[in-house]
Structure 1
Amino acid sequence: MKLFKGLVISAVVVAWFFFLFDTGFAKQADELKKLDQLADEALQFTLAERYGDSLKSLQQLESEMNRALSHPYLFSMDEVRMLQLSLSDAKGALEGEAIHGEEAVHAVMKFRFVLDAIGSSYQPLWADMEDRVMGAFHAFQDSARGEPASEKGMEEAFRRFAKLYDVIYPSILLDFPVETVKNMDARVQFIETHIGNPQKRDELIAETDLLEADLRSLFSDVKEDEADPSLWWVIISTGGMILLALSYAGYRKYRGEKKRYEKKQND
């Protein structure tokens, strides 16, 4: 009887775990879908220079987002922080009388990428920035290697790269280990600090080469074929069904052995 109770309890626990997992996953997906639609709308308005309409979309999104964030366990603390900070930046870029078009687009795009990074582990939108980011970086790299190197040219080229890097930075923090991002940050900061120091030129070029390798690895890793999240859910669900089936099979075996034992005793 104890074995039977143990099997039943195990089956119930497994079933309850997968029910909670499925419910939480579906709830987050529903909430993110609503936010994605509003973020897409805001980005389209920004690209069309309809900044007032874009701001209204983000304000509506903020209301929806605050409601979604009130649900416990739907988002991690890091996700909440990135959402709030990037949304604040996006709204700030659209407020005021003098709105800089490129800055507004980058800010709204950054927020859109964060939303996508949270909701998808498969082909994130920020990875589509590879050509633009690497193009800007190579322009800076060429400027740094030029003879003679132009300090002003290097600073301008680096600034263009840094703006694009900033657009994908919050998403990178969500998608990669902290140590990976810290190493890249250290290289970026070293280059920014010593960009105008001719005595550090050799070190700067060396750090530039290492940063190029880091960036290539970043985009390469995120574009590797990953299992579709829905496929993982099928695998997990199947695993749950197998556990339940094994529990039931164990119970049937227990019942069969008990009957044989009772029959033997009666004989």
Structure 2
Amino acid sequence: MRGKLIILLVLNVLFSGFSVQADSKSSMTELDQLADEALQLTRFGRFEEAKNIMERFGELFSEKGVIERQFTMDELRIVTAAHHEALKALASVGLNTNERVKKVTAFRLATDAIISKYQPLWSEMERPIMNAFEDVKSAALEGDENLYNTELNEFLSTYSVIQPSIKISVPVEKVQRLDSRIAYIDRYRSTFSEQKWMQELEGLEADLKKLFSEINKDDTDPSIWWVMFMTGGIIVSTLSYVSWRKYRGQKLQKQKRKDLND
């Protein structure tokens, strides 16, 4: 009886934990869906509807992030800033649809980054980022300063789409290194010699490739295995204890019957 009680207690703890996780997952799914819906509406030019969805997102995100503390302070700050920029873009009549889509996409990717800890959506931006960078390199090799400035501006605009997301997914020192390289190239774009241009661009290219190769690795969170091991260990230990108690009880009963017969 005592063994059964132990099993029931263990299962109760496990299932209550699963229930909390299910509720948390449900709210995360809702946030993800709202962010995605806002992006789709923006792409179709339905800016007022997208704004309404964004406002609903803001209320839920505030509740889950501030009240229930499901996010870190950095995650709150980054997603809140991306959310603010997206809302401002949707409300700005001076921005064209493409620019609005970029701002809302940056917000969408940042939202996904706090929910999808492994292989986030922004990792799928490798091709457009690297293609934009290749155009910068080509313009530099041609020695066309005007074309170079145009292509560099386009690259910076494309990179800004994933910038909030990588601040969530990538260690801060790596993000700072990458941002420093980009800021340096942007600031001194008109003062580089051709040799210096290529040296800086090759360094940035290496960092960009490393960024995407590392985030696309199929790593499994070690804590998941630890939880599985511990959960399985508790159940196995409990069942083993109960089985041992049952075996011992049966053995004692046999011994008593044997003593009575003797």
- Over aligned residues, Cα RMSD in angstroms? 3.2
Identity over the aligned pairs, expressed in percent? 29
The answer for unaligned runs of 5 or more in structure 2 is 1-5, 249-262
**Partner in structure 2 of residue 265 of structure 1:** none
Local SS of the residue matching 1:41 = helix
Written as runs of structure 1 = structure 2, the 5 A alignment for 1:98-109 is 98-109=94-105
Once the two structures are TM-superposed, the CA of residue 121 in structure 1 deviates from its matched residue by 2.2
**Partner in structure 1 of residue 191 of structure 2:** 197
**Partner in structure 1 of residue 136 of structure 2:** 140
Q: Distance in 1 between matches of 2:134 and 2:70?
A: 40
Written as runs of structure 1 = structure 2, the 5 A alignment for 1:1-267 is 22=18, 25-146=21-142, 149-199=143-193, 201-227=194-220, 233=224, 236-243=227-234, 245-246=236-237
Distance 1:244 1:40, change over 3 A: same
CA deviations 1:190-248 (Å, max 9, x no partner) are: 1111211144x422311210111111111111222233x7x964762342230454477
Deviates more, 1:180-189 or 1:83-92: 180-189
Q: Distance in 1 between matches of 2:24 and 2:111?
A: 11
Q: Distance in 1 between matches of 2:111 and 2:170?
A: 15
CA deviations 1:163-201 (Å, max 9, x no partner) are: 1111101111111111111111121111111211144x4
TM-score of the two chains, using structure 2 as the length reference = 0.81
Distance 1:207 1:251, change over 3 A: farther
Distance 1:115 1:188, change over 3 A: same
CA deviations 1:93-119 (Å, max 9, x no partner) are: 011332321111011111111111111
Once the two structures are TM-superposed, the CA of residue 24 in structure 1 deviates from its matched residue by 5.6
Local SS of the residue matching 2:48 = helix
Q: Distance in 2 between matches of 1:24 and 1:113?
A: 26
- Give the counterpart letter for 2:232 in structure 1: M
Q: Distance in 1 between matches of 2:18 and 2:197?
A: 49
Q: Distance in 2 between matches of 1:138 and 1:170?
A: 22
Contact 2:79–2:164, Cα closer than 8 Å, also in 1? no
TM-score of the two chains, using structure 1 as the length reference = 0.79
Once the two structures are TM-superposed, the CA of residue 137 in structure 1 deviates from its matched residue by 0.4
- Give the counterpart letter for 1:33 in structure 2: T
Q: Distance in 2 between matches of 1:62 and 1:226?
A: 31
Larger Rg: 2
